[in-house]
Amino acid sequence: MRMSRTDAARNRERVVRTASEQFREHGYDGVGIAALMQAAGLTNGAFYKQFASKEALMAEATEQALAANAAAWDEVLARAGDDPLQAVAQWYLSDPHAGHRGPGCTYAALAAEAPRHDDPVRRAFDEGLRRTVGQIEAAAGDGEEAALRFLARLVGALTLARAVSDPELAARILSANAAADAPT
Amino acid sequence: MRMSRTDAARNRERVVRTASEQFREHGYDGVGIAALMQAAGLTNGAFYKQFASKEALMAEATEQALAANAAAWDEVLARAGDDPLQAVAQWYLSDPHAGHRGPGCTYAALAAEAPRHDDPVRRAFDEGLRRTVGQIEAAAGDGEEAALRFLARLVGALTLARAVSDPELAARILSANAAADAPT
DNA sequence: CAACTGGGATGACGATCATAATCTAAATTT
DNA sequence: AAATTTAGATTATGATCGTCATCCCAGTTG
């Protein structure tokens, strides 16, 4: 049955938000339209009334995920003391973040799959990355190159820590990288 | 028709090697048994005579991919001059490596998908990572923590550079991280 | 040489995939 | 109030998924 305009818009937004978490948790290929719609409390039939294709949803969901990540960074940075990068690193490389991929970092969860997808998805990463680098630059003031090194190290460390089977090895990866300004 | 023992073993090894490249290029979920067997010059029917499941092949292919990566690192390290980490970083973050995922780094290609899979796959990453860290330690002598930071930065940088749409941004990510011993 | 074995091809299994046509009923517009 | 529009449910499409039963025939073994 038909919904009101505002209800429909709310449903659409809920689908995007659900997708942004499901994709981060199971990968773009790991979640189908039917499962996704069900997780959002709807059925597959409603999908193509709201989105042109799965690829289009992937782009929107990635934007949404990166925006949520940026908000989380802002919150951590706002609470940080005199060493904001240290605060970000310790939060980013914490056990809770390593354990919960769905609400976590989009780079660590989906960036490796991005090159296999269309431009709208990859453009979302462009925009998100520029924003994240800007946040780091504003917090540290070391310039773009230093920000790109910092971010790369965090993303790589979280990805590797999540990949390994041995929890003790994962903990060493995280702790070795939790020092924000360590060399190499 | 039946093959000789040695032919069958060669076929099996070719499947693993093909899979190791196909998985790195298209992701574990992105390539099916039929397409994979065809790429190896066989048909789907031959698959389950050689492997217990796709997941079992994924584990073997990941081991094979990581072993090939380790050999490539050894080769680069052998050719390196007085700054081996610098040589590795420049090779690892080169345009050719960023452009060819299939024969490239397994961490950047598949580590993000590993947490969604069974223990044999993830154990392959344990073993591979310990070996890579050992290679870095032997080349640099800065200890495990420094090696883990170095590797995390390389993997993160390659992943992010591949994800973005803007080639100029990708180039900045690579060059900012190509300096082996830069701070943060 | 005869008996046996097993790797590969063919084809099919049910499940799931992305996509979409059809229908319904309520929201919107006239 | 009547006419129109449309979000969502239902159901169906052809393709592809991982897995496997069956058959065939050439290696291997006796």
- Domains of chain B, first to last: 53-177 (1.10.357.10)
Contact A67/A74 with Cβ under 8 angstroms?
no
**Model pLDDT, residue A1:** 66
Q: What is the pLDDT of residues A48-101, one digit of tens each?
A: 999 999 999 999 999 999 999 999 999 999 999 899 999 999 999 999 999 999
Residues from chain B contacting residue A176 (CB–CB below 8 Å):
144-146, 148-149, 152
Is the CB of A53 within 7 Å of strand C?
yes
Is the CB of A35 within 7 Å of strand C?
yes
pLDDT > 80? residue A171: yes
Q: What is the DSSP letter of B114?
A: G
3-state DSSP assignment of residue B180: coil
Listed residue (B67, B69, B143) closest to B101, CA to CA: B69
Q: Do B177 and A113 touch (CB under 8 A)?
A: no
**Model pLDDT, residue B2:** 74
The identity of residue A23, as a single letter, is F
Spatial distance between the Cα atoms of A177 and B6, rounded to a whole number of angstroms = 47
> Cα dist. A59→A33, A65, A101, A172, A182 in Å?
14, 10, 18, 34, 35
Is the CB of B70 within 7 Å of strand C?
no
Q: What is the pLDDT of residues A25-54, one digit of tens each?
A: 999 999 999 999 999 999 999 999 999 999
pLDDT > 50? residue A135: yes
Identify which of A110, A148, A160 has the shortest CB distance to residue B155: A160
**Model pLDDT, residue B106:** 98
Average pLDDT, chain A: 95
Contact positions of strand C to protein Cβ (< 7 A):
5-12, 16-22, 24-28
Q: Do B160 and A157 touch (CB under 8 A)?
A: no
DSSP E strands: which ranges in A26-180? none
> Cα dist. A99→A63, A88, A167, A174 in Å?
22, 17, 11, 12
Is the CB of A46 within 7 Å of strand D?
yes
- The one-digit pLDDT tens for each residue of chain B (184 residues) are 677 778 889 999 999 999 999 999 999 999 999 999 999 999 999 999 999 999 999 999 999 999 999 999 999 999 998 999 999 999 999 999 999 999 999 999 999 999 999 999 999 999 999 999 999 999 999 999 999 999 999 999 999 999 999 999 999 999 999 975 555 4
Over the Cα atoms of chain A, what is R_g?
Answer: 18
Strand D neighbours among B 29-58, CB < 7 A: 31-35, 44-45, 47-48, 53-55
Strand D neighbours among B 54-73, CB < 7 A: 54-55
**Model pLDDT, residue A179:** 79
Which band of pLDDT confidence, cut at 50, 70 and 90, is reported for residue A5? confident
| Angstroms from A72 CA to nearest CA on chain B | 20
